[in-house]
Amino acid sequence: MKTIYSAIQPSGIMTLGNYIGAVNNWRTMQSDGDNKCIFALADLHTITVRQQPGQFNKNCWSFYALLLAVGLDPKKSIVYLQSHVKQHCELAWLLNCYTYVGEMNRMTQFKDKSAKHADNINMGLMDYPVLMAADILLYDTDLVPVGYDQLQHIEITRDIALRVNNIYGDIFKVPDGFIPKVGAKIMSLQDPTSKMSKSDTNPNAVISCLDTPDVIMKKFKRAVTDSDTTIAYDPQNKAGISNLLGILAVAQGKTIEETLKDCEGFRYGDLKVRVGESVIEMLRPFQEEYNRLIEAKDYLTACAKEGAEKAREIAENTLKRFKEALGYIL
């Protein structure tokens, strides 16, 4: 049995990119009886950027409901809030002592976020990859489903684990990253050379999973493509069209090749409408379930508590194993 671990930050909105590139794949992995799945709301990571407390609390509940609405089953998977499992912070501190400053300085995401938040370049932002390594290593993770932008974090996690293992023996399982073949990176609808991001200031660039059907259709109709008329999958030269084809393929559960065949004879406008219709239908049951769950606060609280208890049991065993190897008095 393989252990799958992944997490999402409860900040801003859940975008279509989050849905297709992350949580929808989590549901697929959960359905495989050979997988032990652990999914977290990375609320400790979230505060590396300043949060308004009331909105932050609301976002945490909303994202937890979104995870359950997409089909994550608390009876089949462990679904919890990161801050409810204190072992994450303790292991992160221990791993800090086996991580080099130069490694953190080279992290691409630290450079990018430092540029965006020049007035708040805090140590949490720099130390983000070590906490992420702790998240993963606590659960003897085999596989981490990620997008392309997170691959560097998986690499540093592996480096830290191997470094510790080389000194103390087989303390940590060394994880592998997993990138889905289609939909791993959904691009902005207004700048298809950039990833769709919840922090984008242009609302037309991003599809929220909770957008109404009318809003979804309008955004896809305004999607930037190119001056050509040929529908082809060519991410290098036809980024906008390729992004739409990738979204459509996932929404319809088909390959790129099958999707291209379905779109023979389409004009760009036809493709945009087909993508909009397909995404609306894909999100419809998800939105209905979310609207039900967000009103069931007692149920969400009970699920979060149960998830944290299960996660703590596993995490404490891993932490104890490492601390014993370090020579701590337990």
CA angle (285 as vertex; 68, 73 as ends), nearest 5: 25
Boundaries of domain holding 226: 203-291
User: Does residue 149 or residue 45 have the better pLDDT?
Assistant: 45
Q: Examine residue 189 and state whether it is found in any structural domain, yes or no.
A: no
- Indicate whether 154 pLDDT > 60: yes
**Ranges 11-20, 175-184, 311-320: which has the least confidence:** 175-184
Residues 237 and 261 in one domain: yes
Helix (H) or strand (E) holding 311: helix 297-326
**Ranges 68-82, 99-113, 187-201, 214-228: which has the least confidence:** 99-113
- Indicate whether 150 pLDDT > 90: no
Q: Examine residue 73 and state whether it is found in any structural domain, yes or no.
A: yes
What span, in angstroms and rounded, lies between the C-alpha atoms of 190 and 187?
9
The tally of domains found in the chain comes to: 2
Residues 125 and 92 in one domain: yes
Active-site amino acid positions: 113, 195, 198
pTM, to two decimals: 0.91
pLDDT in tens, 231-273: 999 999 999 999 999 999 999 999 999 999 999 999 999 999 9
- Indicate whether 9 pLDDT > 80: yes
User: Does residue 324 or residue 22 have the better pLDDT?
Assistant: 324
Count Cβ atoms below 10 Å from residue 294 Cβ, excluding itself.
18
Residues 153 and 33 in one domain: yes
Residues 48 and 140 in one domain: yes
According to the model, what pLDDT value does residue 280 have?
98
Can you tell me the mean pLDDT for 129-150?
A: 92
What CATH number is associated with residue 281?
Answer: 1.10.240.10
Q: Examine residue 215 and state whether it is found in any structural domain, yes or no.
A: yes
Q: Which residue has the tokens 């080099």?
A: 100
Q: Examine residue 237 and state whether it is found in any structural domain, yes or no.
A: yes
pLDDT in tens, 36-77: 999 999 999 999 989 999 999 999 999 999 999 999 999 999
Q: Examine residue 187 and state whether it is found in any structural domain, yes or no.
A: no
Can you tell me the mean pLDDT for 165-169?
A: 98
According to the model, what pLDDT value does residue 182 have?
55
- Kindly list the distances between the CA atom of residue 234 and the CA atoms of 62, 239, 244, 311, 322, in Å, as whole numbers in the listed order: 36, 7, 11, 42, 47
pLDDT in tens, 110-138: 767 766 767 778 888 889 999 999 999 99
